[in-house]
A = this chain, B = another copy of it.
């Protein structure tokens, strides 16, 4: 069961001193570069962004692109950090975070961005524990946002806007670590969900890895059936085929790494899928249209629940971080009222241990963009916080 994560200031020190967060990003590919850009765009909540990468050419490219301040050494990058994010390949996460923990201030929080969590999270925790480097300040993370492009040139400050960012706390994770990292990620525009590492891996097996195998199998089988006779034309015509096989065009090498890394959960998902598919096959073979219709109806309902369409009555959340200045709440509600935008719900998220809080505004999705514009024009910081 996922848990929603309450807000908290990104760092008690930073909040107490009235200063912003000092962020170190280790690894400057698509994700690391986008984190750096998004953090720099987050306003005064972030005081500093330092980036490094093991590859000198990547560091040079980040300098040319002006994404953030670049340093050559990991130790220098984390030297004064409040939060360290390792945006490196899964196999490098534990080593990088161990080095970062040893070099960073004692209170610095640590997280990563690897797409599988069980092994990585356990390994980081074990390494920090073994060296007495305080594992309570680490929480694993997985930003569910991507692009077909990669590398720092693909970095985009809006990559995480509205994206789900899973955090994977364990018994070793301090509550404050979870809430502070979550709060920072929300300033990047992400929707934060907390899951156990193992549950995360089971779920991505179903919603990401299984669809990849299903789509690839479909594309391969269709090509066999179609291309022998030169009748490829209908593949383009079938909208269902286009949608259902879209991800089959992905990079095979990348996917082998993912599927191998999550082998057990992928096998379970494949077995559940195959069992249901064979039921459908038997229904067709036996002309049991009633059973098949029941399956299709169950699937139709499931799809509509799992991926709901935007409807006029659907609402979206806007999160307005408040600083200590009085009157901001009134500014927000007055601006929306003047623009004729109906506020469906309104809540204050009090900060647990600092002066900051945030205003949660719920508006109809149809009003979302206009509400954001109105609030920005009123001088407020606004994040779209879908559903959290």
Interface residues in chain A, defined as those with a beta carbon under 8 Å from any beta carbon in chain B: 1-2, 144, 146, 163-164, 166, 191, 193, 195, 199, 202-204, 206-208, 210-227, 229-253, 255-256, 259-260, 263, 266-267, 269-274, 276-278, 280-281, 284-285, 287, 289, 292-293, 295-308, 387
Given A233-B193, A241-B307, residue A207 in contact with residue B222 (CB < 8 A): yes
How far, in angstroms, from A298 to B218 measured CA to CA in the complex?
Answer: 11
Q: Which residue of B lies closest to A257 (CB)?
A: B289
Chain B residues within 8 Å of A272, by CB: 221, 224-225
- Report whether A298 and B220 are in contact in the complex, using a CB–CB cutoff of 8 Å: yes
- Report whether A270 and B284 are in contact in the complex, using a CB–CB cutoff of 8 Å: yes
- Report whether A223 and B274 are in contact in the complex, using a CB–CB cutoff of 8 Å: no
- Report whether B227 and A218 are in contact in the complex, using a CB–CB cutoff of 8 Å: no
- Starting from the known contacts A144-B234, A220-B299, 12 additional A-B residue pairs (CB-CB under 8 Å) come to A1-B229, A203-B234, A211-B241, A215-B243, A217-B295, A219-B306, A222-B302, A223-B306, A227-B305, A232-B305, A235-B306, A252-B300
- Report whether B280 and A270 are in contact in the complex, using a CB–CB cutoff of 8 Å: yes
- Report whether A243 and B247 are in contact in the complex, using a CB–CB cutoff of 8 Å: yes
Q: How many copies of this chain? A: 2
How far, in angstroms, from A271 to B308 measured CA to CA in the complex?
Answer: 32
Given A211-B244, A241-B207, A300-B251, residue A260 in contact with residue B287 (CB < 8 A): yes
- Report whether B285 and A231 are in contact in the complex, using a CB–CB cutoff of 8 Å: no
- Report whether B222 and A306 are in contact in the complex, using a CB–CB cutoff of 8 Å: yes
How far, in angstroms, from A104 to B228 measured CA to CA in the complex?
Answer: 41
How far, in angstroms, from A242 to B144 measured CA to CA in the complex?
Answer: 13
- Report whether B243 and A221 are in contact in the complex, using a CB–CB cutoff of 8 Å: no
- Report whether A248 and B217 are in contact in the complex, using a CB–CB cutoff of 8 Å: no
How far, in angstroms, from A274 to B277 measured CA to CA in the complex?
Answer: 8
Q: Which residue of B lies closest to A218 (CB)?
A: B214
Chain B residues within 8 Å of A193, by CB: 233-234
- Report whether B295 and A164 are in contact in the complex, using a CB–CB cutoff of 8 Å: no
- Report whether B247 and A244 are in contact in the complex, using a CB–CB cutoff of 8 Å: yes
Chain B residues within 8 Å of A227, by CB: 302, 305-306
Which of these, B229, B259, B274, B302, contacts A278 with CB under 8 Å? B274
Chain B residues within 8 Å of A245, by CB: 211, 299, 303, 306-307
- Report whether B247 and A302 are in contact in the complex, using a CB–CB cutoff of 8 Å: no
How far, in angstroms, from A199 to B306 measured CA to CA in the complex?
Answer: 36
